[in-house]
Amino acid sequence: MDSTEANSTRWKTLLAFGIIYFVWGSTFLAIKIGVAEVPPFLLAAIRFTVAGLVLYLWMLLKGERNPTAREWGSVVLLAAVIFVCDYGLLFWAEQRVPSGLAAVMLATIPACMALAEIILLRTQKLTMRLVIALAIGFCGVAVLVVRQFNLGGEPINRAGAVALIIGAISWSLASALAKKLPLPPAKVMSSGAQMLAGGVLLSIVAGMSGEFQAFHPAAVSTKAWLALLYLIVAGSIVGFTAYVWLLHHYSPTKVGTYAYVNPVVAVLLGNFAGGEPLGERTIVGSACVLASVVMITTVGATKSGAAKALKKQDE
């Protein structure tokens, strides 16, 4: 690799990590802006239908095969769990919960995934380090939710918190299911199809919830439309493309560091740009959740490194 190519790759890497760190972290505030004027399930439906259709058609134009009927069945199942139960509840919860704290609550996904691997997949054992990490994470959630903790500031809305926890559990269940279901081999095609299916399912939920009748496009401000456009283009299409590119060039552990950064970006952006309070309760609860995320994800990294070392010794 010559110096020009090396510099190009370096800049692409910095840009891609910048996108998944800061763009994905900023989407929580964009959702908050959008749901202030557009019904939540409908907003999510528009975002993922458009983004999914773009990715799906792009892959077809590149010559990627269409998913088989069996693969479409898996796609729809995962779309229901991820986009309706996780993202749908996230959009709904952000009507009640500050955007930064919504990001912190969803940062419990690694804890839920660890529990899913222990209970459902049986691919991980419950070690003392994992027990401590899970306890710290759940303490962080308790600090954010429980009124009895005298840390100043109001705890977050209980219904919104429950919705976000269900969303985190849904994502972890979907991750476990994805390892067992037949899906399109091309990651972009698989995710584009899931987004598209998720958008259609969210449209059905929005219709059943009466959101179409409550939606008046002429009354929506330019600010909210721009937030939706940002979610579609930057958050979904550009963000996911950068994520897939990074997975092809770096380890999942290194790419997964966005899980540490997104909540921090969301909390700071919510405070400085969204006027959300940054009190002692938010700081302590967020710190506990992020400490839990770091401990859980580095457990996986350590195991992966040990496995590679053993493999090299065998060779």
Count of structural domains, the chain: 1
Residue 302 is assigned to a structural domain of this protein: no
Is 243 within a domain?
A: yes
Q: pTM for this structure?
A: 0.87
Does 258 map to a domain? yes
Residue 165 has pLDDT above 80, yes or no: yes
Coil, helix or strand at residue 156: coil
Tell me how far apart the alpha carbons of residues 179 and 189 are, in angstroms, rounded to a whole number. Answer: 16
**Which pLDDT score, from 0 to 100, does residue 152 have?**
63
* HEC secondary structure over 29-48: HHHHHHHCCCCHHHHHHHHH
For residue 293, the model assigns a pLDDT of 87
In a domain, 146, yes or no: no
| DSSP code of residue 157 | P
Q: Percentage of the chain surpassing pLDDT 90?
A: 57
**pLDDT tens for residues 177-218?**
888 899 999 989 999 999 999 999 999 999 999 999 989 999
pLDDT grade, residue 150 (50/70/90)? low
Rounded Cα distance, 124 and 130, in Å: 10
pLDDT of residue 247: 82
Residues 280, 153 contacting (CB under 8 angstroms) = yes
Q: What is the pLDDT of residues 100-110, one digit of tens each?
A: 999 999 988 88
Least trusted range by pLDDT, from 64-73, 246-255, 258-267: 246-255
Three-state SS for 194-247 is HHHHHHHHHHHHHHHCCHHHHCCHHHCCHHHHHHHHHHHHHHHHHHHHHHHHHH
Type of residue numbered 23? V
Determine, yes or no, domain membership for 105: no
Q: Are 277 and 48 in contact (CB under 8 A)?
A: no
Is there a domain that residue 23 lies in?
Answer: yes
Q: What letter represents residue 199's amino acid? A: G
pLDDT band at 115 (very low <50, low <70, confident <90, very high): confident
Give yes or no for a contact between 231 and 47, defined as CB atoms under 8 angstroms apart: yes
Asked whether residue 266 is domain-assigned, the answer is yes
The residue range of the domain holding 237 is: 1-38+220-277
- Residues 314, 85: Cα–Cα separation, whole Å: 44
- Least Cα distance to 269 among 106, 30, 105, 26 occurs for 26
In a domain, 272, yes or no: yes
